[in-house]
Amino acid sequence: MTCLHIPSFVAPTTYSNVYKEECLLCFETPESLNGIDVCLTCLQSGCSGPETMNHTSLHHEKTGHKLYLNIKKIKLVEPPKKITKLVVDESLQEKYETKVKTWCVDCKCELGNCEQIEKAVNGIMNATSATQKQEIKSWEEVVEACEHTVCLEQNPTCSSGKQIISRLKVPKKCNECDMKENLWLCMTCGNVGCGRRQFDGSGGNNHGMEHFEKTGHPVSLKLGTITAEGEADIYCYKCNDMRLDPELESHLKLFGINVKTQQKTEKNMAEMQLDQNITFNMKTVDGEDYENVFGPGLTGIKNIGNSCYLASVVQSLFYLRPFQQEYYETAIEHHFNCREKPQNCFECQMGKIAMGLLSGNYSKPPLNLKDQLGISPTLFKSVISQNNREFASMRQQDAFEFYQFMINLVEQKSKIKGTSPHLPFQFNLTQRLECANCHKVKYSNVTSNSISLMIPQIENASIINCFEATVSPENVQMNCPSCSSNQFYKSTGFGSFPEILVIQMQRFVLNNWTPEKLDKKVTVPLNKFSLEQFRLNGPLENEVELPNQDSKPSLNEAALDQLMAMGFSRLRCEKALLATGNRDADSAMNWLFEHMEDPDIESPINNKLASVDVDQESVALIVSMGFTDTQATKALKETNMNVERAIDWLFSHPDCGESPSGGNEKSQDGEGNYKIVGFISHKGSSVHCGHYVCHLLVDDKWILFNDNRVVHDVNPPFENTYIYFLRRQ
Ligand SMILES: [Zn+2]
Ligand SMILES: [Zn+2]
Ligand SMILES: [Zn+2]
Ligand SMILES: [Zn+2]
Ligand SMILES: [Zn+2]
Ligand SMILES: [Zn+2]
Ligand SMILES: [Zn+2]
Ligand SMILES: [Zn+2]
């Protein structure tokens, strides 16, 4: 039988997105028994043949596309396992024998040869696949120039700068101490200072940064990272980020550095992160190998480069009932009905990863390897991080931030469907204020999807001690709207208990303004335990509520008078001051002239605090300490834009940054009895480097998920955890 269907496609060009590494809806690859199919018409991939889910037929049903290229690779030699920065490894291709054939899904036969088909096949086989393109893009750190590098003014007047100029030689030692590596050259004056102190005390003595604080010289370059191509690690202290210096060559010339003759001797940031990621010891305390386990729910996730934070969180979430219900049980149905392109559809990819992890199809003992290969999160990652530059990059990320990101994304996406898989994670954090004099009270609630616990500095702290330290009552000063007192007691507690309680342990703290990682052990109960003693509901029958307070922020009265004297209405003046950070009459006046024509200029100020402008430099500084943008902004508003007080405030408000509930949804309250069913640990000096693994309780056994390796851990490290997952009992 021959196929008479007329080909109606064109060969792919370099701009086409060719999917040829994995079925878009499951994890079949060219190495699978039947290989995979690439649609010759639209270049999407599917699977076909016995023991597959026949996603090629599904694609055919949805689109009518009939003609496919089947690619099957037969492995000849083991490919190298180490992840390198070079994603396109030519030598890899020689280790496979690749078989291709074209076929028609309607006629169930191979296609005859014709020039058009031949061209298309060659085009597909030679194309850089869409996922490879994605990976290469993510590896390239998105480093841009800033005003400080572009408008850099060089002025080598300080002593070390003068020395450099006179001898045309850059010193190989910090100007302030004896450090000889991790040295940063000030691009303004030529000062050489050592790098920042890390959480674990390694790194440098902060002399480079101190130089910036003293002089305001914004841009520094890490010595030893200059390449002959004119690249280098350049840091802007003002922007608090890696930057690009478009005039690097001429800027360095002033210090006698000829870019063309440079050789890179020190590791750059990306390389340092990779190193830390790969060196993780997988032996038990006794030096024994762990026992590998296989089956449904015991599927590993391949490390695609600094992706262990993602793997740990994804494993934990899909282990939990709400995610299984929402994405595993509906996956086939969604794949069947979905009209979007699978490579762009959030639901398609959530379903795919759920089936990949939970079906057991990809967790089988490999023939000649110890560990399973694990499923690749590349497509999943690219879909969920479409609008997030950080999570799209190949940099290491904070697993806790990623958890919050995922829960918020899931909430947002499921609203459209009318489901709410995020609700079992939500609860009310209640704050109670009591006037020390008249004893009237005020209760307020915020919705949260996690609680962040302080670790008290006591011997043998238990997790209950951590709860106590976090919610313990404190004295605060505020004016009582009911009497003249300004002394209040403040306490915090659970207004409701969620089905799944996620706990972040505050292991990364500031100690005398130095970031530090707390390796303190915290003991946890392994059986059911109660948190009911931390429930806080009110007002109680015998309590009298405080009258509602006017929450209007105090305005700069002098500026207000000045503006009103110019003839503006009080409302407009208040608005202008709020919008310009309540600083002075001048900025407020400029704002007023710019916003004279605003349609809402005469409408009342509704959310007064929300409109206060926040200084972006201060936000960046706080974010660099590990807080989120929202937290930083909120804290600054709460503390009159004072950075130090804002950070203090954040540490005393661990729950801040959660958006208050919309009002319609109710958290599902229940008894506060819990059992720990999973936890994520972190090895390394800061949340933004090092390695994450997770442990989950499967059939009463603790299973360690370390990227693609899934093993039974008989001695799990409960006490050094970063994130706990508790399930209501
Ligand atoms: Zn046909
Ligand atoms: Zn498939
Ligand atoms: Zn197609
Ligand atoms: Zn800058
Ligand atoms: Zn130093
Ligand atoms: Zn300087
Ligand atoms: Zn879909
Ligand atoms: Zn009072």
What CATH number is attached to the domain comprising 116?
Answer: 3.30.40
From the list 653, 691, 694, 695, the catalytic residue is 691
Task: State pLDDT tens for residues 665-717.
Answer: 455 789 999 999 999 998 776 666 678 999 999 999 999 999 999 999 988 98
**Ligand 3 centroid from CA 61, angstroms:** 10
CATH number at residue 162: 3.30.40.10
**Ligand 7 centroid from CA 377, angstroms:** 17
On whether the CB atoms of residues 156 and 189 are closer than 8 A, the answer is yes
Structure tokens at 219: 């841009």
User: Domain check: are 298 and 391 in the same one?
Assistant: yes
In a domain, 166, yes or no: yes
In a domain, 628, yes or no: no
Structure tokens at 137: 């893009």
Of residues 165 and 201, the one with the higher pLDDT is 165
On whether the CB atoms of residues 74 and 67 are closer than 8 A, the answer is no
Which pLDDT band holds residue 639 (cuts at 50, 70, 90)?
A: confident
Pairing mode, strands 67-75 and 451-453: unpaired
Of residues 43 and 366, the one with the higher pLDDT is 43
Average pLDDT, the chain: 83
On whether the CB atoms of residues 638 and 657 are closer than 8 A, the answer is no
**Ligand 7 centroid from CA 340, angstroms:** 5
From the list 39, 158, 189, 308, the catalytic residue is 308
The one-letter code for the residue type at 520 is: K
User: Domain check: are 306 and 400 in the same one?
Assistant: yes
Task: State pLDDT tens for residues 358-415.
Answer: 999 999 888 767 788 899 999 999 899 887 777 887 777 889 999 999 999 999 999 8
Beta bridge partners of 430: 445, 493
Question: Which ligand is closest to the CA of 176, given by its number?
Answer: 5
In this prediction, residue 282 carries a pLDDT of 52
- Of 228, 251, 266, the one marking the end of a domain is 266
What residues pack around ion ligand 5 (CB closer than 5 A)? 174, 176-177, 179, 194, 205, 207
> Is 107 labelled as part of a ligand binding site?
no
User: Domain check: are 336 and 260 in the same one?
Assistant: no
Structure tokens at 70: 């089947």
Structure tokens at 699: 């059939």
User: Domain check: are 253 and 312 in the same one?
Assistant: no
In this prediction, residue 609 carries a pLDDT of 39
**Ligand 1 centroid from CA 239, angstroms:** 59
In this prediction, residue 659 carries a pLDDT of 41
Question: Which ligand is closest to the CA of 42, given by its number?
Answer: 3
In a domain, 579, yes or no: no
Residue 122 phi/psi, 5° resolution? -60, -40
**Ligand 8 centroid from CA 489, angstroms:** 11
In this prediction, residue 637 carries a pLDDT of 79
In this prediction, residue 661 carries a pLDDT of 37
Question: Which ligand is closest to the CA of 25, given by its number?
Answer: 2
**Ligand 4 centroid from CA 437, angstroms:** 51
In a domain, 256, yes or no: yes
User: Domain check: are 412 and 305 in the same one?
Assistant: yes
Question: Which ligand is closest to the CA of 180, given by its number?
Answer: 5
In this prediction, residue 287 carries a pLDDT of 55
Looking at residue 417, what DSSP letter applies? H
**Ligand 2 centroid from CA 340, angstroms:** 16
Of residues 81 and 707, the one with the higher pLDDT is 707
Of residues 725 and 683, the one with the higher pLDDT is 725
Question: Which ligand is closest to the CA of 145, given by its number?
Answer: 4
In a domain, 712, yes or no: yes
> Is 174 labelled as part of a ligand binding site?
yes
User: Domain check: are 238 and 163 in the same one?
Assistant: yes
* Long-range contacts of 175-181, Cβ-Cβ distance < 8 Å, separation of 24 or more: 175/207, 175/211, 176/205, 176/207, 176/210, 177/205, 177/207, 179/204, 179/205, 179/207, 181/224, 181/266
Which pLDDT band holds residue 199 (cuts at 50, 70, 90)?
A: very low
Q: How far is CA 41 from CA 68, 130, 146, 579, in A?
A: 8, 16, 44, 54
Q: Residue 181's domain spans which residues?
A: 147-266
Cβ neighbours for 226, distance < 8 A, ≥ 6 positions apart: 232, 252, 257, 259, 262, 264
**Ligand 5 centroid from CA 269, angstroms:** 19
Pairing mode, strands 67-75 and 109-110: unpaired
User: Domain check: are 107 and 185 in the same one?
Assistant: no
Task: State pLDDT tens for residues 584-619.
Answer: 788 888 888 877 777 777 776 654 334 456 777 788
Q: With H, G, I as helix, E, B as strand and everything else as coil, classify residue 672.
A: coil
In a domain, 226, yes or no: yes
**Ligand 2 centroid from CA 125, angstroms:** 20
Q: With H, G, I as helix, E, B as strand and everything else as coil, classify residue 133.
A: helix
In this prediction, residue 273 carries a pLDDT of 52
User: Domain check: are 255 and 157 in the same one?
Assistant: yes
Q: How far is CA 131 from CA 312, 387, 469, in A?
A: 22, 17, 47
Domain count, the chain: 3
439 is catalytic: no
Task: Kindly tell me if the per-residue pLDDT of 138 is higher than 70.
Answer: no
**Ligand 3 centroid from CA 391, angstroms:** 29
In a domain, 19, yes or no: no
Q: Which whole number is the average pLDDT over 507-534?
A: 81
On whether the CB atoms of residues 384 and 406 are closer than 8 A, the answer is yes
Lowest average pLDDT, out of 115-124, 131-140, 419-428, 559-568, goes to: 131-140
691 is catalytic: yes
Structure tokens at 398: 């904070």
Of residues 638 and 18, the one with the higher pLDDT is 18
**Ligand 6 centroid from CA 624, angstroms:** 22
Question: Which ligand is closest to the CA of 237, given by its number?
Answer: 4
**Ligand 2 centroid from CA 714, angstroms:** 36
Which pLDDT band holds residue 88 (cuts at 50, 70, 90)?
A: very low
Question: Which ligand is closest to the CA of 59, given by its number?
Answer: 3
User: Domain check: are 125 and 151 in the same one?
Assistant: no
- Of 94, 114, 138, the one marking the end of a domain is 138
In this prediction, residue 13 carries a pLDDT of 81
Task: State pLDDT tens for residues 250-301.
Answer: 898 888 788 777 766 666 665 555 554 444 445 544 556 788 999 999 999 9
**Ligand 8 centroid from CA 483, angstroms:** 4
**Ligand 5 centroid from CA 183, angstroms:** 8
User: Domain check: are 92 and 152 in the same one?
Assistant: no
User: Domain check: are 301 and 417 in the same one?
Assistant: yes
Pairing mode, strands 701-706 and 709-712: antiparallel
**Ligand 7 centroid from CA 169, angstroms:** 60
**Ligand 6 centroid from CA 188, angstroms:** 5
In a domain, 689, yes or no: yes
Question: Which ligand is closest to the CA of 3, given by its number?
Answer: 1
In this prediction, residue 642 carries a pLDDT of 79
User: Domain check: are 158 and 49 in the same one?
Assistant: no
Residue 214 phi/psi, 5° resolution? -75, -45
CATH number at residue 385: 3.90.70.10
Complex prediction ipTM: 0.66
What residues pack around ion ligand 3 (CB closer than 5 A)? 39, 41-42, 63, 65
Task: State pLDDT tens for residues 144-169.
Answer: 889 999 999 888 766 666 666 666 67
Question: Which ligand is closest to the CA of 212, given by its number?
Answer: 6
Which pLDDT band holds residue 343 (cuts at 50, 70, 90)?
A: very high
- In the block, tokens 């994520």 appear at 680
- Of 111, 138, 165, the one marking the end of a domain is 138
On whether the CB atoms of residues 429 and 444 are closer than 8 A, the answer is no
**Ligand 4 centroid from CA 239, angstroms:** 4
Q: How far is CA 335 from CA 8, 29, 301, 349, 383, in A?
A: 26, 18, 22, 9, 16
